[in-house]
Amino acid sequence: MIENDSNYIKISIVLIFVSIFVIVSIVRYKNKIEVLNDYNFTLGKIIKYTISGEMNSKYLTYDYEVNGVTYQRYISAKTKKYDYCEDNIELCNEIRFVVIYSKNDYSKSLIDLSVEYENHVTVDQIPYPISLDNFE
C-alpha cells in the first residue's frame, strides 16, 4: 500500500512539472507570435547576466525603453559570447542590441544578440531589422 502511494506521488510530481513546462512553453510561444505579428523596434542593453546550475545555464535580463517607459525581460541565453558579463556587467552596459516589441503590449519583446551597436548609436541610425531569425 505504501509503495503504491509512493508511486502515485512520484507520478503526480512528474505530471505537475511537465504541465508547468508545457504551460510556460505555450505562453512564451504565444508572446513570440504576438511580437512577430505586429512589432516596432528599439535598442536595448543587457543589465544582468548569470551562469548557474550544474549545466552552467546562462540567463540574462535586458531592458529597453518605449515612450519614456523602461521595460525588462529575463531570458535563457543561447550563447556563451557574453559570459564575461557575469563578472563585470558594466562591460555589457556599453553594448546595445536591437529589440523588437509588440505594438499592442510594449512589455512583450524579443532581442537579437547577434549584432552589437555602440552605446552612442540611436534607433534612427540602425537599419530596420531585415531578418527576424536571430530574435529570442
C-alpha dist (Å) from residue 59 to 71, 83, 95, 100: 17, 10, 17, 19
- What are 49's strand-pairing partners? 60
Q: Which amino acid is at 134?
A: N
The CATH code of the domain at 38-125 is: 2.40.50
Q: Which residue, among 28, 24, 104, 100, has the nearest Cα to 62 in the 3D structure?
A: 100
Tell me what the mean pLDDT of segment 65-75 comes to. Answer: 95
* Predicted pLDDT at 3: 62
Please give the model's pTM, rounded to 2 decimal places.
0.77
pLDDT recorded at residue 1: 52
Q: What is the mean pLDDT of residues 9-31?
A: 81
